[in-house]
Amino acid sequence: MILGTGHERGDAAPVDLSCDGAAFGEDVWRGNGTPLPPAVRDRFVSTLPRGLTTVGECSEIDSLIGQTFVKAAVPVIDIVPAVDLVVSLGQTAFHRVRQSYSRDAAMGQPWRI
């Protein structure tokens, strides 16, 4: 299952992966979206670059976004025969590209699932 988010919601979609030797294939099933609570969204937006925040606030927001992922994932887990792997794109809070590398910070880890 893959989890992702925008500023508005957390999304979960099951993906069936296959491999026939040299090539991988995927079949993305219909997923589920759960709105990000407005208060969580507002707190997240306030942490974006040029805003001031603390590590404690980022930790709380990370947990709250992760809880939104859980709410999106549970209905998907209930209809899929087996979930072997959960991956998350997270919610990008900071993205900086320098020459050939990128430094990102994301919130909303899927550990609760």
The enclosing domain of 32 has a CATH number of 3.30.420.40
What pLDDT, in 10s, does the model give residues 48-70? Answer: 878 888 889 988 888 888 888 88
Domain count, the chain: 1
Tell me the C-alpha distance between 30 and 27, whole Å: 10
- Lookup: tokens for 10: 């957390």
Determine contact, residues 104/91, Cβ cutoff 8 Å: no
**Would you state the pLDDT for residue 111?**
67
Give the pLDDT confidence of 11-41 residue by residue, as tens digits: 888 888 888 888 888 777 777 888 888 998 8
Q: What is the number of other CB atoms lying within 10 angstroms of the CB of residue 82?
A: 6
CA 35, CA 30: separation in Å to the nearest integer? Answer: 17
Q: Which residues pair with 88 in a beta bridge?
A: 3
The four Cα atoms 100, 87, 85, 12 give a dihedral, to 10 degrees, of -140
Q: Tokens 């893959």 identify what position?
A: 2
Each residue's pLDDT tens digit, 74-87:
888 888 878 887 77
Its domain, for residue 68, covers: 2-112
